[in-house]
């Protein structure tokens, strides 16, 4: 889709004055519309990423990622973060790829290997065998203000080194189903191929990694999201060091503080995160935190609303002692300490040749749940979906990280039992599977090739 450029300038004629008296836009506004010098200076830190993936045979076009085309080629962008060839991009661009090519701004091309990837944040770290590269300069995403001009450089639809500009529409936004990530919302045009590219402020500093847009049509509709650069670099450091990411976890549920709830606590203006539940097996259950407490600050950072808490907790190192400022009804404000646990993460699939699809043709790779996840789901158990390959399961909408809880009303306790029950599925008669995705439970109907002869 081709977007016409926006004009942010304006000219006003004042009635009663001579036509030559014109009030023009202020100097800072004029400067904000001219990104040409920034593009010239920072364009070399942006790369094009092309990932070759297995072609889906059972999934229709609507099931594919926005960056993928029908041939199995996924196009995206990336950011050079070190002179010796480390590159940041988005997980959805390169996941399941059998070949990844990185093209620099000067048209040099390299094969890339995956150091690690993290689905929850959508951040992946690549390595190319190059030296003397110019790395990007990181800014401070926490200092972004709504209305501030920003610029994206990437490869939408494969058009390398394309620039698009806009403003910050919101900061630290949480999206449905992903409470542990807080995104920068912008109105910058982000289209397929922009994913993984940088978001710059006016100083030429990278403040985010463009990840996705929100659309009812699949095209750009003015709402885009970027991963804050501080989060992206922290995840990249962990991927480089360990190959995976560890996140903090408290084992609580929170809700928004309404005006009426705030009045009951004599809290004005309304703010914070109200603890609505404490999980029995979580670390918070062994702490001074209580159901009904309102968290006002976490590790010195103000918690303005309920969505702000989980991303802060997620950045804490498991095992660390975190300080929280709370207000407790009838007792007033106090400071407490909570020992942070570790959030159980689904395994990340390092790209490589696709394994053989299971004999049932479902395309599912299942694994047993770890103890932490079992405790979190108790009294239910289930099995974890490790990967989903082309097949009936992908058609049904199953995804890596889902937990299969029951099949046709029978609770699951092992992979072997799951395979036995799923083998009943046929083209004419699907099985009904209940899954847990994050904190939500839902049903899907899965067809299959029929019982094994």
Catalytic residues: 92, 122, 195
With beta carbons less than 8 A apart as the criterion, state whether 424 and 402 touch. Answer: no
Whether the Cβ atoms of residue 77 and residue 193 lie closer than 8 Å to each other: yes
**Joined tokens for residue 164:** 């698009």
Alpha helices in 265-400 (DSSP H): 309-314, 371-377, 392-396
Residues 6+ apart with CB under 8 A from 399: 385, 388, 437
- For 383, half-sphere exposure in the C-beta direction (CA atoms, 13 angstrom radius) is 24
* Cα–Cα distance for residue pair 55/10, rounded to 1 Å: 49
CA distance from start to end of the chain? 50
Which residues 6+ apart lie within 8 Å of 55 measured at CB?
70, 71, 72
Angstrom distance (rounded) from CA 207 to CA 147 = 15
d(CA 315, CA 108): 36
| Bridge partners, 12 (sequence order) | 23
Which of 379, 382, 376, 377 has the alpha carbon at shortest distance from 398? 382
Give buried/exposed letters for 434-453 (b at 16+ CB in 10 A, else e): bbbeeeeeeebebbbeeeee
The separation between CA 36 and the C-alpha centre of its own chain, rounded to angstroms, equals 30
Q: CA distances (Å), 226 to each of 26, 98, 160, 183, 231, in order?
A: 29, 26, 19, 6, 11
Closest CA to 119 of 407, 302, 393, 387: 387
Of 444, 285, 314, 248, the C-alpha closest to 378 is 285
Which strand (E) or helix (H) includes residue 41? helix 36-42
């Amino acid at each position: 889709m081709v977007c016409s450029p926006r004009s942010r300038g304006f000219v006003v004629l004042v009635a009663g004055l001579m036509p030559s008296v014109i009030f023009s836009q202020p100097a800072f506004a004029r400067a904000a519309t001219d990104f040409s010098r920034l593009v010239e200076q920072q364009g070399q830190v942006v790369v094009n990423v092309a990932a070759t993936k297995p072609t889906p045979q059972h999934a229709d076009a609507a099931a594919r990622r926005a960056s993928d085309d029908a041939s199995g080629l996924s196009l995206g962008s990336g950011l050079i973060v070190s002179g010796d060839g480390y590159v940041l991009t988005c997980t959805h661009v390169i996941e399941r790829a059998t070949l990844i090519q990185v093209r620099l701004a000067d048209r040099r091309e390299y094969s890339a290997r995956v150091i690690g990837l993290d689905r929850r944040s959508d951040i992946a770290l690549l390595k190319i065998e190059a030296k003397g590269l110019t790395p990007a300069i990181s800014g401070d995403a926490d200092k972004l203000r709504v209305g501030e001009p920003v610029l994206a450089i990437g490869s939408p639809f494969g058009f390398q080194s394309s620039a698009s500009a806009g403003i910050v529409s919101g900061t630290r936004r949480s999206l449905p189903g992903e409470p542990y990530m807080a995104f920068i919302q912008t109105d910058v045009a982000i289209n397929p191929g922009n994913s993984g590219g940088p978001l710059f402020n006016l100083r030429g500093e990278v403040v985010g990694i463009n990840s996705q847009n929100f659309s009812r049509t699949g095209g750009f509709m003015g709402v885009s999201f970027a991963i804050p650069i501080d989060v992206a670099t922290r995840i990249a450091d962990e991927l480089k060091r360990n190959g995976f990411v560890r996140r903090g976890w408290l084992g609580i549920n929170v809700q928004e503080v309404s005006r009426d709830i705030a009045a009951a606590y004599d809290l004005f203006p309304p703010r914070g995160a109200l603890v609505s539940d404490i999980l029995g097996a979580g670390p918070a259950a062994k702490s001074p935190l209580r159901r009904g407490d309102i968290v006002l600050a976490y590790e010195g950072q103000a918690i303005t609303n309920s969505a702000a808490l989980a991303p802060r907790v997620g950045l804490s190192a498991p095992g660390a002692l975190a300080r929280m400022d709370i207000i407790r009804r009838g007792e007033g404000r106090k400071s407490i300490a909570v020992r942070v646990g570790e959030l159980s993460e689904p395994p990340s699939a390092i790209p490589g040749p696709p394994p053989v699809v299971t004999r049932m043709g479902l395309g599912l790779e299942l694994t047993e749940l770890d103890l932490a996840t079992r405790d979190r789901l108790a009294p239910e158990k289930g099995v974890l979906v490790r990967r989903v390959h082309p097949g009936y399961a992908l058609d049904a909408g199953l995804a890596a990280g889902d937990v299969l809880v029951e099949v046709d009303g029978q609770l699951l306790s092992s992979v072997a039992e799951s395979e036995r029950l799923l083998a009943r599925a046929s083209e004419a008669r699907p099985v009904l599977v209940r899954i847990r995705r994050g904190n939500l439970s839902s049903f899907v109907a899965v067809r299959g090739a029929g019982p094994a002869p």
